[in-house]
Amino acid sequence: MAHLAEGVWRDVLDEIQRDIGEHQFYSWFKNLGLRDYDRDSATLTVPNLFTRDWVSGKYSPLIQSAFERVTGQAPRILFEVDPASAVPLVPSLPAEKGPARPSSFISEVQLNSNYSFSQFVVGPSNRLPHAASVAVAENPANAYNPLFLHGAVGLGKTHLLQAICHELLARRPDMRILYLSCESFVNQFIAAIQRGELVTFRYRYRHIDALVIDDIHFLANK
């Protein structure tokens, strides 16, 4: 019976990975296990309460659907916290050593040299976000702190964020700036929770002068 359940779980995981893609699967399902299974219910092990709440709230219907496709049954999905089930998901956050200043610019996304203020086309619909972005670059930590840019896809949010980075670097070469995607930020936070490294996570982000997060809408409904 145990071997049968293991085979079912492997097939269910394959279905889930096809549904959500490798990146989300790697972040959320690689450290889940199947504790108990019958036609009425499936009990999954998770490493902590955070993962339980996230996966339960966001993925329970998807998991149930995957079970149904594999077995023909749609069992109730239950979760059980088991810290021993935690396994590394992504590389550990780099540890800070002493008060040494990191390099002035840290980016997990390559800046586009064309995304500058001088090459941004200003019009009636984007005049305010452009002006706010320029103000932030000219007077960081004082003007519009924090600055949140909202708009539909393709309206220049990434252009303005990268333009802020370019301008800050030009004006203050020693300024500690971190530019990354919201998904990367969330994945680092999750990994820190799973490893018990929140102190390192907080230290890293509290010692940054300017934090620029792109695609912040990734946090919507989370």
* Token output for 145: 């702190």
Residues 81, 174 within the same domain: no
Report the CATH number that the domain containing residue 181 is assigned in CATH. Answer: 3.40.50.300
Q: Is residue 166 part of a domain?
A: yes
Task: Determine, yes or no, domain membership for 90.
Answer: no
Give per-residue pLDDT as tens, 136-193: 999 888 888 899 998 888 889 999 999 999 999 899 888 889 999 888 888 888 888 8
The whole domain housing 27 covers: 2-85
Q: Does residue 98 lie in a domain region?
A: no
Instruction: Tell me whether residue 92 is in a domain.
Output: no
Q: Does some domain include residue 95?
A: no
88 upstream amide cis, omega within 30 of 0: no
What are 16-73's pLDDT values in tens digits? Answer: 999 988 877 877 887 889 988 888 999 999 877 777 888 888 899 999 999 999 999 9
Same domain, 212 and 111: yes
**In the chain, how many domains are there?**
2
Q: What does the alpha-carbon distance between residue 192 and residue 164 come to, in Å, rounded to a whole number?
A: 28
Same domain, 139 and 47: no
Q: Does residue 59 sit within a domain?
A: yes
Residue 71 lies in a domain: yes
- Do 116 and 39 fall into the same domain? no
Burial grade of 156 (CB within 10 A; 0-12, 13-18, 19 or more): buried
Same domain, 62 and 138: no
Question: If DSSP codes are grouped into helix, strand and coil, which group holds residue 35?
Answer: strand
